[in-house]
């Protein structure tokens, strides 16, 4: 059994309570969960010593009246307790198109290329990827070598929430060199809050790759909706959103419909998210802005820039131009959700 207290310092500065006579979880519940702005990033669940979890696709804390330690860690790391919405393209060093020569993926497989190259450089010894089971429920997988990326379920977009950050807590305890994390903008914000509050995350998360994201969905809602549309999950190969359409590709055909039809199951936390490009990441990756078969890579920080240089030197990818203007529509689409943020 690992004595975490002997290994790292977990204490945080206790934040001021907004509801003075309530437990800290009750503060989180009142300010974030009950106001329907929770992104389900699970940063709180990753750090809570008492038992914050997910119940019916909603962050909850069963029996918090007796189990909450009132330490305040949950509100300290929640990106939306004091919500400062991020938006736009953000600052960057390079805005390029890339296509890996070693890996195949949804587009140019540049997320895989970035992570494996970082491992080869000795920057990290593992990357946290989202995989899925046979029912398309998400799971977290530790990629430690390039051969593991041949696992088919590691590729492609899942469009359902994943418990990346609770798994990250375990990963930072065991890494020897560092951890790479892949996630949507809300996951990226959660990692940055963890790094802000806990030195172990600051020291051991060495690469943070953000994914372009318009919205994500609760597993129960999206699977029910797709089944009603005729999607047979036993035959499903991949899902994709392109040019305003959701496309489910099966072994015997496709199901297509307008993304707008999914508004009825849009999670409330996504409805107040304004960040399309994961502006807080080390590098952001998506398909918009590049030619077919390429990934758009927004290189934001020097650590990611060095990895791109390594990829170029090794000849591991083809590179080309990407067009930032092509992101404007979706950036503005996300910015418009600021009006949905409830006033306190």
pLDDT tens, position by position, for the chain (344 residues)?
444 444 555 555 667 788 888 999 999 999 999 999 999 999 999 999 888 998 877 899 989 999 999 999 999 999 999 999 999 999 999 999 999 999 887 778 999 999 999 999 999 999 999 888 888 888 898 998 888 877 777 777 788 888 999 999 999 999 999 999 999 999 999 999 999 999 999 999 999 999 999 999 999 999 999 999 999 988 988 888 887 889 999 999 999 999 899 999 999 999 999 999 999 999 999 999 999 999 999 999 999 999 999 999 999 999 999 999 999 999 999 999 999 999 87
Last residue of a domain, one of 230, 254, 278: 254
The distance in angstroms from the start CA to the end CA of the chain is 44
Rounded to the nearest angstrom, the gap between the alpha carbon of residue 328 and the centroid of all alpha carbons in its chain is 21
The answer as to whether 232 is a domain residue is yes
159 and 42 part of one domain:
no
Is 9 within a domain?
no
DSSP assignment letter at 248: E
Task: Convert 11-58 into a string of H (helix), E (strand) and C (coil).
Answer: CCCCCCCCCCCCCHHHHHHHHHHCCCCCCCCCHHHHHCCCCCEEECCE
pLDDT (0 to 100) of residue 132: 85
Last residue of a domain, one of 66, 84, 102: 84
pLDDT at 12: 52
User: 204 with 118, same domain?
Assistant: yes
128 and 194 belong to one structural domain: yes
Q: Domain for residue 195, yes or no? A: yes
Same domain (yes/no): 281, 192: yes
Q: How many CA atoms lie within 13 A of 286 on its CB side?
A: 27
Residue range of the domain that includes 240: 219-254
Classify residue 292 by burial, with Cβ atoms within 10 Å: 0-12, 13-18, 19+: exposed
In a domain, 301, yes or no: yes
CATH number at residue 184: 3.40.640
Joined together, the tokens standing for residue 176 give 């020897």
Q: What is the pLDDT of residue 305?
A: 98
Q: Is residue 259 a part of any domain in this protein?
A: no
User: Do 37 and 177 fall within a single domain?
Assistant: no
Edge-first strand listing for the sheet containing 317-321: 138-143, 126-132, 179-183, 205-211, 283-286, 295-299, 94-100, 317-321
Residue among 303, 57, 290, 39 nearest 185 (CA): 39
Residues listed for the chain:
344
Q: In this structure, are 200 and 76 located in the same domain?
A: no
Domain end among 254, 279, 300: 254
Residue 30 shares a structural domain with residue 107: no
Co-location of 180 and 328 in the same domain = yes
> Hunting for tokens 């107040």 — which residue is that?
272
Specify whether 322 is located in the same domain as 211: yes
Judge whether 71 lies within some domain.
yes
pTM of this structure = 0.91
Same domain as 137, residue 286: yes
Quote the number of domains for the chain: 3
Q: What is the CATH number of the domain that holds 73?
A: 3.30.70.20
Do residue 208 and residue 239 come from a single domain?
A: no
CA–CA dist 21, 108 (Å, integer): 52
Assess whether 69 and 135 both reside in one domain.
Answer: no
């Amino acid at each position: 059994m690992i004595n975490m207290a002997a290994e790292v310092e977990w204490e945080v500065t206790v934040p001021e309570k907004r509801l003075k006579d309530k437990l800290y979880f009750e503060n989180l519940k009142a300010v974030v969960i009950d106001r329907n702005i929770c992104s389900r990033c699970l940063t709180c669940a990753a750090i809570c010593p008492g038992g914050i979890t997910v119940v019916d696709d909603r962050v909850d804390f069963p029996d918090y009246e007796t189990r909450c330690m009132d330490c305040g860690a949950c509100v300290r790391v929640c990106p939306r307790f004091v919500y400062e919405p991020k938006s736009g393209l953000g600052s960057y060093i390079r805005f390029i198109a890339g296509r890996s020569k070693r890996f195949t993926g949804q587009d140019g497989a540049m997320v895989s290329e970035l992570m494996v190259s970082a491992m080869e450089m000795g920057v990290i010894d593992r990357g946290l990827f989202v995989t899925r089971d046979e029912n398309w429920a998400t799971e977290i997988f530790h990629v430690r070598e390039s051969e593991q990326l041949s696992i088919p379920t590691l590729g492609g977009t899942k469009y359902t929430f994943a418990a990346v950050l609770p798994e990250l807590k375990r990963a930072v305890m065991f890494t020897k060199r560092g951890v790479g994390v892949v996630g949507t903008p809300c996951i990226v914000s959660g990692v940055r809050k963890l790094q802000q509050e806990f030195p172990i995350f600051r020291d051991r998360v060495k690469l943070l790759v953000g994914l372009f994201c318009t919205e994500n969905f609760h597993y129960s809602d999206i699977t029910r909706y797709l089944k009603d549309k005729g999607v047979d999950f036993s035959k499903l190969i991949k899902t994709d959103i392109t040019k305003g359409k959701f496309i489910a590709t099966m072994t015997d055909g496709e199901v297509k419909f307008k993304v707008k039809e999914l508004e009825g199951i849009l999670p409330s936390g996504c409805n107040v998210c304004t960040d399309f490009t994961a502006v807080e990441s080390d590098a952001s990756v998506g398909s918009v802005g590049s030619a077919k078969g390429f990934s758009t890579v927004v290189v934001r920080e020097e650590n990611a820039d060095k990895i791109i240089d390594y990829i170029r030197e090794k000849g591991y990818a083809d590179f080309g131009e990407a067009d930032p203007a092509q992101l404007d529509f979706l950036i503005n689409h996300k910015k418009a959700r600021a009006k949905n943020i409830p006033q306190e």
